Amino acid sequence: MTQTAAIIGGGVIGGGWAARFLLNGWNVRVFDPDPEAPRKVGEVLANARAALPALSDVPLPREGVLSFCGTITEAVQGADYIQESVSERLDLKHRVFAQIQQVAPGTPIGSSTSGFKPSELQEGAANPGTIFVAHPFNPVYLLPLAEVVPSAKSDPALIERAKETLRAIGMFPLHIRKEIDAHIADRFLEAVWREALWLVKDGVATTEEIDEAIRMGFGLRWGQMGLFETYRIAGGEAGMKHFMAQFGPCLTWPWTKLMDVPEFNDELVDLIAGQSDAQSGKYSIRELERIRDGNLIGFLRVLKDRDWGAGRVLKAHDAMLRQALPDPTPDTAAPLELAHLRVLPGWIDYNGHMTESRYLFAASETCDAFLRLIGADLDYVAGGHSYYTAESHILHLGEAKLGDALTGTVQVLSSDEKRLHVFIRIARGDQTVATVEQMLLHVDMAAGKTCPAAPAVLARLRPIAAAHAALPRPDTAGRHVGQGKA
Amino acid sequence: MTQTAAIIGGGVIGGGWAARFLLNGWNVRVFDPDPEAPRKVGEVLANARAALPALSDVPLPREGVLSFCGTITEAVQGADYIQESVSERLDLKHRVFAQIQQVAPGTPIGSSTSGFKPSELQEGAANPGTIFVAHPFNPVYLLPLAEVVPSAKSDPALIERAKETLRAIGMFPLHIRKEIDAHIADRFLEAVWREALWLVKDGVATTEEIDEAIRMGFGLRWGQMGLFETYRIAGGEAGMKHFMAQFGPCLTWPWTKLMDVPEFNDELVDLIAGQSDAQSGKYSIRELERIRDGNLIGFLRVLKDRDWGAGRVLKAHDAMLRQALPDPTPDTAAPLELAHLRVLPGWIDYNGHMTESRYLFAASETCDAFLRLIGADLDYVAGGHSYYTAESHILHLGEAKLGDALTGTVQVLSSDEKRLHVFIRIARGDQTVATVEQMLLHVDMAAGKTCPAAPAVLARLRPIAAAHAALPRPDTAGRHVGQGKA
């Protein structure tokens, strides 16, 4: 049965939560007195729809139903999970919790607070045991981290169920066992933020130079290993103790201004806002969001391919989604739509179009998705068998341009134990920009010879091939280069 | 002429510098009194050889010659650039600089110091103007950042030349205009490190939980945008000032322990080393390095595809390498050998072979070289005309593997004013690994229609086409997918 999440507070964070729940098949009820809330949530949801599905290799569930409610009571009544993302004011949060608990005293209430401890949130509550911190990171629909912080009054079973809920929407609940102000991650952000303000204020570096100092170096390390594992490597074979012995004494060196807080005045705000305009003002916030999301999708997919860090969260989520699928074969009565790609800046050639090898790349991605669908996935390859492409014919019918959303569909033309003949269509909306006809051969990789595919693979392939046999054969299948008009 | 870098100090950092220079075609002389230095540098170099070429889409120059020297004098004499990476002791660095400047008083000396200011490094030097900070980040052979910090005594022209040298080896020199202890990036690392030690000491989180708090969330953001651009987005349409207004007041909240330094004792070292073992001890340091490098290659290639951040540094480096490539020379009595490519690590798929779209990429590079040869080059495209590929047929006849040297040859099958029908052979030595038959159409790009090519282009094309008409037609020209045996 479809579950329902109540989202109290519909800003960027609340909107991100709403998007995660909706795209994972939950119904979502939002309460926010701001008349702009539907527009704001809608914008976050549009970003999320363009981004989150790109992380999954399994179809997401059918999107849930989004509704906006006039009262907290209406939003939370009968909800399975409640997420509070109102402004960072403790009195306001207390009032919200009191209203919630009048009608939903037993429902889990996660708070997006970045600073308050759960025991502070629970003060004066009718049922403190259901209130806990579930602190996400923007963009909530892409970054897996949610810091889950209970207090001594929290119900351990409810916390475990809440963590299951977060996993079900693709997140990584990090259970923090001891409550402190600002949990963990924001303490680091705060430390760096203070130091960065000093550097700008003292004219040591601009906002852009500081960003380069992060993203050209340690930011890349931290996105995949964090602090301690990175330093473990720095210690080399001598180990972590060696690293500590080298760097420990530096702790007492006067390296940072952190003992000190810069005066937060208009002059500092203007300085930083001005530098930020010079650095990033050429992009609108919407453009920056899309650039950021594309980068994050890229990083996350790299980690997924490498089965590491945040990529493992994605794989675990796929496994959950796959289990929930009724049948591994979707609608086989039509060509299978299996890939969704966006044309990236690096794919553009000197003509301003997608460079020709990227059409084949798009087809390969589509064909790989088909192979995964029939079970010829990376585990299968690791077992020593694979489908190799023997031959391809590409017909260019249109021009893909920067930012175009492309879909890849597969039609099986014929197949037997060893051969797989497919026709792949790369389209932008209704317009086909290229077709790629391919013959794949199933091979024993060690022997370097063709051989029959595994029975499990053939068992998935055959019903699709049988269904596709009824489809009209594409006009251009079997074309050779230069044959009459296309 | 091949340039020479002298590397003083052959640890992980010195080895990383040595690898960057070597793989970019410099000769490298290393001085390190440690008898283990050749082994240590060799291990870093092995990692670098497996990793750095994966970032480039242009063949790197022929690797330089590595030698180990018994004295500093021997290492630096006649060198074009000197990089110092000895232990972080100022007296030691001063002695090293004094020895260097006895024989190489005018050569740029970059110091890898993470803490000392250039003015401190320059104290007592014979020629202080040549000594500056060039602070890299581990792994030096993959991360582009080098903080370049001059002092008031530095020679500005020498600093600019040093920055050019760093760019030539693929780095991003970040010029820091005001010297401070620990430059920029390490101040952030130090701030986070102190805070992290508190969290572990107080039992709030383990080293593993802290790493997850970073890499599941803000670490992914920082790898591609840094701090300020990320917060600019958080401010939304209301902008950076809005963000500052929201978060500024938090600066005075008691969120961090940073005013305070944890006591660095054996108990803390044991606690952290033990947790790190539990977290990462299942991997050796070598394994962790390979995992890290693979992740970083993935991130960096994503950014390169997206023409963003560190990826732009890679693209600029490719452009520098491409300019240095020699021009091929044609002989029209045979198919024209027009492209020479080396199979890069980034071109390898999960089967361990060159990924299929790269065969078409190799053919495109070959065909582009042919178009340049007949004058349909970038200037021609800028004038509004170009050849577009209408159709391609690829036949896979062999498997290209990592490091293979491939050649691309073009045979013109037929041509007229508007059409160019070519047969491209991608070979490794005598063995053809793929053939690509293509039909290209000459187009007026603004009108989006075919049109005759410029007379100058046709004048170059015709004699080649005439000569090639005498060549045997390839057996597989005109094949369609699935047609009998290849």
The pLDDT tens digits for B24-82 are 999 999 999 999 999 999 999 999 998 888 788 777 888 999 999 999 999 999 999 99
CA–CA dist B145, B295 (Å, integer): 17
Q: Which site among B184, B421, B439 would you substitute to test the A interface, given the most A Cβ atoms closer than 10 Å to its Cβ?
A: B184
Residue range A329-469, CATH number: 3.10.129.10
CB of B441 less than 8 A from some CB of A: no
Give the distance from residue A64's alpha carbon to the nearest chain B alpha carbon, in angstroms.
Answer: 26
Superfamily of domain B185-282: N-(1-d-carboxylethyl)-l-norvaline Dehydrogenase; domain 2 (1.10.1040.10)
Place of tokens 């509550």: A125
The number of C-beta contacts closer than 8 angstroms across A and B is 509
DSSP B83-111: EE---S-HHHHHHHHHHHHHH-TTS-EEE
CB of B421 less than 8 A from some CB of A: yes
Closest residue on chain A to B225 (Cα): A215
Query: What digits encode the pLDDT tens for the residues A304-350?
Result: 877 899 999 998 998 888 777 655 455 677 899 988 887 876 677 76
Average pLDDT score over residue span B209-234: 91
Looking at per-residue confidence, does B324 or B225 come out higher? B225
CB of B255 less than 8 A from some CB of A: yes
Is it the case that residue A259 has pLDDT exceeding 70? no
The answer to whether B226 contacts A213, with C-beta atoms less than 8 Å apart, is yes
CATH topology for the B4-175 domain = Rossmann fold (3.40.50)
Strand partners, A439: A391, A421
* Strand-strand pairing, B336-342 and B419-428: unpaired
Average pLDDT score over residue span B431-439: 96
CB of A439 less than 8 A from some CB of B: yes
Q: Which site among A86, A214, A344, A433 would you substitute to test the B interface, given the most B Cβ atoms closer than 10 Å to its Cβ?
A: A214
Q: Which site among B44, B282, B391, B449 would you substitute to test the A interface, given the most A Cβ atoms closer than 10 Å to its Cβ?
A: B391
Which of B468, B404, B481, B184 has its CA nearest to residue A438?
A: B481
Average pLDDT score over residue span B431-456: 95
Residue type, B144: P
pTM attached to this predicted model:
0.78
Which of residues 371 through 400 in chain B touch A, CB cutoff 8 A? 378, 381, 386, 388-396
Query: What digits encode the pLDDT tens for the residues A218-242?
Result: 999 999 998 889 888 887 767 777 7
CB of B34 less than 8 A from some CB of A: no
Query: What digits encode the pLDDT tens for the residues A94-104?
Result: 999 999 999 99
Which parts of B3-117 fold into alpha helices (H)? 12-23, 37-51, 72-76, 90-103
Closest residue on chain A to B182 (Cα): A255
Average pLDDT score over residue span A251-278: 69
**Structure confidence at residue A486 as a pLDDT band (50, 70, 90):** very low
Q: Which of B216, B241, B300 sits opposite A310 (nearest CB)?
A: B216
Q: Which of B192, B216, B259 sits opposite A259 (nearest CB)?
A: B259
Using an 8 Å Cβ cutoff, are B20 and B263 in contact?
A: no
What is the complex's ipTM, to 2 decimals? 0.78
**Structure confidence at residue B93 as a pLDDT band (50, 70, 90):** very high
The reported pLDDT for the residue numbered B256 is 52
Looking at per-residue confidence, does A104 or A379 come out higher? A104
Q: Which of B264, B296, B357 sits opposite A361 (nearest CB)?
A: B357
The reported pLDDT for the residue numbered B260 is 59
Q: Which site among A41, A172, A224 would you substitute to test the B interface, given the most B Cβ atoms closer than 10 Å to its Cβ?
A: A224
Which are the contacts of B378, defined by CB distance < 8 A and separation ≥ 6?
A: A350
Residue type, A178: K
Q: Which residues of A touch B199 (CB under 8 A)?
A: 180, 184, 187
Closest residue on chain A to B438 (Cα): A481
The answer to whether B244 contacts A289, with C-beta atoms less than 8 Å apart, is no
The answer to whether A481 contacts B307, with C-beta atoms less than 8 Å apart, is no
Look at residue B134 and give its three-state secondary structure.
Answer: strand
The answer to whether B137 contacts A308, with C-beta atoms less than 8 Å apart, is no
The answer to whether B302 contacts A295, with C-beta atoms less than 8 Å apart, is yes
Closest residue on chain B to A403 (Cα): B306
The structural domains of chain A, with segments of one domain joined by +, span 4-175, 185-282, 329-469
Residue type, A339: A
CA–CA dist B30, B75 (Å, integer): 6
